[in-house]
Amino acid sequence: MRYWLVKSEPFKYSWEQFEKDKKTMWDGVRNYQARNNLREMKKGDLVLWYHSNEGKEIVGIAKVVKENYQDPTTEDKNWLVVDLAPFKKLKKTVTLEQIKADETLQNIGLVKQGRLSVMELKQTEFDYILLLAK
């Protein structure tokens, strides 16, 4: 199993809407590094859901329920999507401010590559973030 983080602007697609929908296609990725990360996602992988721009916080955990396939929002074969389903809402959100202030998390993509919308996390980083959410 691998671990990931995806970013969504809550005014475009919030965790609350995701829970109502029960599943979503993660589309619209137009960055090659993020696309390559989508390509590596496997069914069952866990994904932290980060609200960007507004809130700037990790709010929940999703699960990959369908591996990559052609993004139906474009005819360009270079772009992929995966399907995600809500797994668990965090009891306590973990803010970007907390993450940036924590020495343990200084090397994660959210700090090093803040504009990347889909990034991999090490299991230790994922687990540590969940500890912060308790």
51: domain CATH number?
A: 3.10.590.10
Give the pair of three-digit tokens for residue 12.
Answer: 């475009």
Question: What is this structure's pTM?
Answer: 0.95
Number of domains in the chain: 1
| pLDDT tens, residue by residue, 26-45 | 999 999 999 999 999 999 99
Residue 99 CA to residue 30 CA, distance in Å, equals 26
Q: What pLDDT is attached to residue 19? A: 98
Q: What pLDDT is attached to residue 57? A: 97
Q: What pLDDT is attached to residue 114? A: 85
| pLDDT tens, residue by residue, 15-26 | 999 999 999 999
Q: Which domain holds residue 54?
A: 3-132
Placement of tokens 């590094």 in the chain: 33
**Residue stretches of the chain with pLDDT short of 70:** none
Q: What pLDDT is attached to residue 29? A: 94
Closest to 2 in 3D by CA, of 110, 92, 132, 118: 118
Q: What is the 3-state secondary structure (H, E, C) of the chain?
A: CCEEEEEECCCCCCHHHHHHHCCEEECCCCCHHHHHHHHHCCCCCEEEEEECCCCCEEEEEEEEEEEEEECCCCCCCCCEEEEEEEEEEEEEEEEHHHHHHCHHHCCCHHHHCCCCCEEEECHHHHHHHHHHCC
Q: What pLDDT is attached to residue 13? A: 96
